[in-house]
Amino acid sequence: MHITRHASIHAVTLLDVPSESEDDTLFPTRHVTEVVKAVHNQEGPLPHESPFYAELKAHAQVVESILLAAREVVGRVSIVTLARRPWVETSASWYLPGVDFDKLMQDLEIEVFYAREHITRPHIYNAQLEEGVDMFVIAKRNVQHAVLPCT
């Protein structure tokens, strides 16, 4: 993946969106995996008649507001996740009804960085040699290093 640094932009907002096994940031991962999927165990978008539809629609509007505000106040907004591609896009389209997140992300020029794609073989090799090294921390650090402007 090629990452372009924008010299004219002085501030960047990195929103760390968790994957399926982490705590929630923008997406209510734990709620969806433990509560919603327990009731709706099929793959695909949340049915309109779901008892969770209204609350997830309201949450989607909050997420949209956060992204709009971040873009307006800061400028460049990026999302970082440890999930595997295309988790952010799929999760938003299935469980955040009422907001066209593909269009929103495009309109706001929000990039999604899948941190696992930023781990190199030397990182993996060195981590195996060093006790206590967390490859996911290194992956997120690599994304931050690539995205944040040099000072």
**Are 67 and 110 a contacting pair, CB within 8 Å?**
yes
- Supply the pLDDT for residue 95: 95
Mean pLDDT, each 10-residue run in order, the chain (151 residues)? 43 56 74 92 91 96 93 86 90 95 95 88 78 80 75 50
**Chain-centre distance of CA 91, in angstroms?**
10
If you search the block for the tokens 């993946």, which residue do you land on? 1
- Supply the pLDDT for residue 13: 62
- Supply the pLDDT for residue 133: 75
Query: Rounded to two decimals, what is the model's pTM?
Result: 0.77
b or e along 41-60 (b: 16 or more beta carbons within 10 Å of the residue's beta carbon)?
Answer: eeeeebeeebebbeebbebb
Q: Which two tokens stand for residue 108?
A: 């706001």
- Supply the pLDDT for residue 53: 97
